[in-house]
Amino acid sequence: MKNDLLILHCSATPEGKYFDKQDIINWHTTPKHLGGRGWSKPGYHDVILLDGTLQSIVPFDSNNFIDNWEIANGAKGYNSRSIHLCYIGGLDQHYKSKDTRTLSQKNTMVIYVRYVILRNPDIKIAGHNQLAAKDCPCFDTANWLKTIGVNKKNIY
């Protein structure tokens, strides 16, 4: 299916606490009876660590189509047409929703968003909360996209 959506996520972890792609893989794919979600694949294609490092979780190729091997399980009903990007964080120390993106994470996210738009000029970008009853990614995606100069045709 044609890739027409980039969905931004947070890991729903406390501000400043280190996690990486292996943690996400474990959370998502560990069987439910062992405390995981029991998914067949992780929910994100890429994750941005606290220091801005980008780690690939579910790889995808450079064409604008999502093949079965490229599907990540990030937003039910949208996965076959979406790229999913997650940043580590999204909760304050009391586990309340908060935009905890570090400057390095924001910088990496800007580059990622701009690159995806260059590859697919018609793509729309949404926060997970725009597609499901969730706080994720814990910031106003549309407003943030406007502040970094994203064309309104690309804002969900």
- Tokens encoding 129: 């909360």
- The topology (CATH level 3) of 5-154 is Lysozyme-like (3.40.80)
pTM, rounded to two decimals = 0.95
Three-state DSSP class for residue 45: coil
Three-state DSSP class for residue 74: coil
pLDDT tens digits for range 115-125: 999 999 999 99
Domains of the chain, by residue range, sit at: 5-154
Burial class from Cβ neighbours inside 10 Å (0-12, 13-18, 19+) for residue 39 reads: middle
Q: Are 54 and 47 in contact (CB under 8 A)?
A: yes
pLDDT tens digits for range 77-105: 999 999 999 999 999 999 999 999 999 99
Q: Determine how β-strand 46-48 pairs with β-strand 54-56.
A: antiparallel
Residue 63 banded pLDDT, cuts 50, 70, 90: confident
Tell me, what DSSP letter sits at residue 6?
E
pLDDT tens digits for range 33-42: 999 999 999 9
